[in-house]
Structure 1
Amino acid sequence: MPSAEPAAVALTDVQHSYGNVVAVGTITLTLPAGEFLVLVGASGCGKSTLLRLIAGFEEPTAGAVRAGGVPPRPGRGAGMVFQQPRLLPWRTVGGNIELALRYAGVPAQARRARVAELLARVGLYDVADRRVWQISGGQQQRVAIARAIAVDNPLLLLDEPFAALDALTRERLQEDLRRVSHEAGRTCVFVTHSVDEAVFLGSRIVVLSSRPGRIVLDLPVNLPRAGITPDELRGLPEYAALRAQVGHAVRAAAA
């Protein structure tokens, strides 16, 4: 009988310290493929540290991290979106995405069509030839998302990507990200301080305690997604109940 496919992400008894400071307590967590996990908690609880461990930017002090059954390596198997877009200002919008495709070995003749497809997917149909400084901050963050999904990596990691944006742009990008992640079929791990953002985006929410971060709530989100607008979704009684439950857990964990 064939063995089961490995989990998209598996953390086993993971701990992480910076010198004498323990940032992450003992955490065991498994993500199946296609899940949209949101990590939420107060500042300093270890959310971003966990994301860096999953990305392979750091190694755990104790325990094991696996992505697709193997230890993660930076730039391999995962796309990353940071709080700031981190685009190259001397390249065009399309050039930033094309560079990721070139590093991934996509043939030159296929890159232009792929760039156009990716920009259309994030709602930017006509900006490929613009410079980064010629588009808004929200548009830049959409380009960063397009760049992260340009390569066919199974995992998408997002570290508070909308925190610096105004409320209207943030809501629009939340809708874009939910649509794009569903279309791409990626496993997503998203870090945020926002309870509403966690409930709106996640298929699963994990709340971390104050430092050292430990899991205090691991909650599946079973809200209707198809055939419903964002305003209708946020107006559902079960949405409000989930938001209240997660908010209470976050406040209690930070106390």
Structure 2
Amino acid sequence: MPSSELTGHPDEVDSARAGSVRLDHVTHRYGRGGEAFTAVGPVDLTVPAGQFLVLVGASGCGKSTLLRLIAGFERPTDGSVRVSGAEPRPGGTAGVVFQTPRLFPWRTVRGNVDLALRYAGVPRAQWPGRRAELLARVGLEGTEERRVWEISGGQQQRVAIARALAAENPLLLLDEPFAALDALTRERLQQDVRRVTDRTGRTTVFVTHSADEAVFLGSRIVVLTRSPGTVALDLPITLPRGDIDAEELRGSREFAELRARVSHAVKAAAAA
């Protein structure tokens, strides 16, 4: 059972802090009348500022729906969603990274990042410095003049992450961003995202169906039941963070035990 620290009682978590997320009795349905389909809910969930929350579950359990509600792309049918104490604003509340990079192929890496800086309201004079900083964060130094079609899929997703970090939003949302990548590239980007979010202190909500990815990335994991998605497991992760040896972490007994526990919970939730 989730501890009171994680269930978000208002006397224990300041839900108005920058980057905090709070879902109160959230249910979301698609369609009307007899065609109505409940995708998620009811869900009560609070994410304290600075936490790395991973939503994990089988396909169709409502993970991406919850992420869209937090981003403000959709409004819940019932209940309320608050980010930093207010209703989320699409494109303004959080940086969002999707399964595919969604870059502008006719622009260079520089052009794609500069566009994000412009929409973020960064003064043009500051673009070169901010661009260099963002590309360094995601390991893309020296790629500014390359076209999107000249870089690999993994590098394109790095550009997408840099764009999401362009605005100084305290919240970062990622919807299975590495699902289409090969295993080696995926592991490298997992390490990069873990490092970047730890250093920036941004609240992060990450969607995946992989127990391994969830345990490696998260400081907290929430497993969802099959549709309509509700919370089946709310698990704090106490593995070391910061500058760690990824291979050593993955090879530890603690990692293996957590991965097995999450995998079992996902399978049980999908079968229930």
Alpha-carbon RMSD across the aligned residues, in angstroms, is 1.1
Local SS of the residue matching 1:149: helix
State yes or no: 1:10 paired with 2:22: yes
State yes or no: 1:73 paired with 2:89: yes
For residues 67 and 84 of structure 2, the distance between their equivalents in structure 1, rounded to whole angstroms, comes to 15
For residues 91 and 124 of structure 2, the distance between their equivalents in structure 1, rounded to whole angstroms, comes to 21
* Shift in Å, 1:103: 1.4
* Shift in Å, 1:238: 0.8
2:146 corresponds to which of 124, 127, 130: 130
Instruction: Could you tell me which runs of 5 or more consecutive residues in structure 2 were left unpaired when the two chains were aligned.
Output: 1-12
1:41 corresponds to which of 57, 62, 74: 57
State yes or no: 1:144 paired with 2:160: yes
Q: How does 1:18-57 map to 2 (within 5 A)?
A: 18-19=30-31, 20-57=36-73
**What amino acid is aligned across from residue 11 of structure 1 in structure 2?**
L
For residues 199 and 138 of structure 1, the distance between their equivalents in structure 2, rounded to whole angstroms, comes to 21
Q: How does 1:181-200 map to 2 (within 5 A)?
A: 181-200=197-216
Aligned length: 253
For residues 140 and 263 of structure 2, the distance between their equivalents in structure 1, rounded to whole angstroms, comes to 34
The answer to whether the 8 A contact 2:57-2:63 is kept is: yes
The answer to whether the 8 A contact 2:107-2:148 is kept is: yes
Q: Deviations 1:27-77 (Å, cap 9, x if unpaired)?
A: 000010000000000010000000000000000000000000000010112
**What amino acid is aligned across from residue 230 of structure 1 in structure 2?**
A
For residues 68 and 144 of structure 2, the distance between their equivalents in structure 1, rounded to whole angstroms, comes to 30
Q: Deviations 1:193-225 (Å, cap 9, x if unpaired)?
A: 110000000000000000000000000000012
Report which stretch shifted further, 113-122 or 207-216.
113-122
Q: Deviations 1:147-196 (Å, cap 9, x if unpaired)?
A: 10011001000000000000000000000000011111100000001100
Q: How does 1:199-218 map to 2 (within 5 A)?
A: 199-218=215-234
Local SS of the residue matching 1:120: helix
Partner of 2:176: 160
For residues 16 and 230 of structure 1, the distance between their equivalents in structure 2, rounded to whole angstroms, comes to 37
* Shift in Å, 1:226: 3.9
Q: Deviations 1:117-141 (Å, cap 9, x if unpaired)?
A: 1101111110011110000000000
Q: How does 1:109-128 map to 2 (within 5 A)?
A: 109-128=125-144
The answer to whether the 8 A contact 2:14-2:48 is kept is: no
Local SS of the residue matching 1:38: strand
Partner of 2:7: none
* Shift in Å, 1:4: 4.5
For normalisation by structure 1, the TM-score amounts to 0.97
Q: Deviations 1:78-123 (Å, cap 9, x if unpaired)?
A: 0000000000111110111111111122111110111111101111
For residues 154 and 228 of structure 1, the distance between their equivalents in structure 2, rounded to whole angstroms, comes to 24
For normalisation by structure 2, the TM-score amounts to 0.91
Instruction: From the superposition, tell whether residues 132 and 227 of structure 1 become closer, same or farther in structure 2 (CA, over 3 Å).
Output: closer
The answer to whether the 8 A contact 2:195-2:242 is kept is: no
For residues 143 and 202 of structure 1, the distance between their equivalents in structure 2, rounded to whole angstroms, comes to 22
For residues 94 and 16 of structure 2, the distance between their equivalents in structure 1, rounded to whole angstroms, comes to 16
Percent of aligned pairs with the same amino acid: 69
For residues 48 and 228 of structure 1, the distance between their equivalents in structure 2, rounded to whole angstroms, comes to 29
**What amino acid is aligned across from residue 117 of structure 1 in structure 2?**
E
**What amino acid is aligned across from residue 202 of structure 1 in structure 2?**
G
For residues 107 and 133 of structure 1, the distance between their equivalents in structure 2, rounded to whole angstroms, comes to 28
